[in-house]
Structure 1
């Protein structure tokens, strides 16, 4: 509030609030840096993929429509792998098939389908 002569009464911020504000500001800065690094990595991967597509399409004579067809197939396969369930041999509960141990009883699981090396990325 203004006291009529240009002074404003600003509520005091306690040390806990100052610390919280400082941490939030630091976290925001850290997150901005992480996002910037990820964007640069994504751009680099995009360039690499474009170069690889050029090499493969020329050497293997693959058309853009065939590439799109293959992309759809990979996306469907990945969805199947990510949503597949297996039954734990010990506790008989349903577990995502991409797990190595039962999340309920800890028993090692045996994979029932081929794992892609890209599943762990």
Structure 2
């Protein structure tokens, strides 16, 4: 007499995507769309600049270095909160300690947001 054959079943676990993973997927899709849009804008602006006399990529590299330096300088600017006297970075816009607007009167680049 032979031993009975065991029947093996493959169990497949199906799980529904969590709300968090769906939200993350949506955020990734939004970021990819923004990246594609920014890439399109950048390439278009680059083409316009070349058509209007940009000599070569040396100009671009020089300007990029200048922008990096300017951003670092702007990021280093601090102000004292009038409400609680804590020192805060201007770019945050509000005090990290008490939440009051910092009221900075200087120029903040729109590219810092």
TM over 0.5: yes
Deviation at 1:98, TM superposition (A): 1.5
CA distance in 1, matches of 2:41, 2:99: 40
Matched, 1:88 2:81: yes
**Does residue 39 in structure 1 map to residue 32 in structure 2?**
yes
Instruction: Give the gaps of 5 or more residues in structure 1.
Output: 11-20
Look up the match of 2:104. Answer: 111
| Larger relative contact order (Cα-Cα within 8 Å, sequence gap ≥ 6) | 2
**What is the distance in 2 between the residues matched to 1:53 and 1:97?**
31
Q: How many equivalent residue pairs?
A: 106
- 4+ residue segments displaced more than 3 Å: 4-8, 105-108
Alignment RMSD (CA, Å): 2.9
Task: Point out where structure 2 has 5 or more consecutive residues left out of the alignment.
Answer: none
What does residue range 69-80 of structure 1 map to in structure 2 within 5 Å? 69-80=62-73
Q: What SS does structure 1 have at the residue aligned with 2:79?
A: strand
TM-score (norm 1): 0.65
Offset at residue 107 of structure 1 (A) = 4.1
For residue 61 of structure 1, the aligned residue among 48, 51, 54 is 54
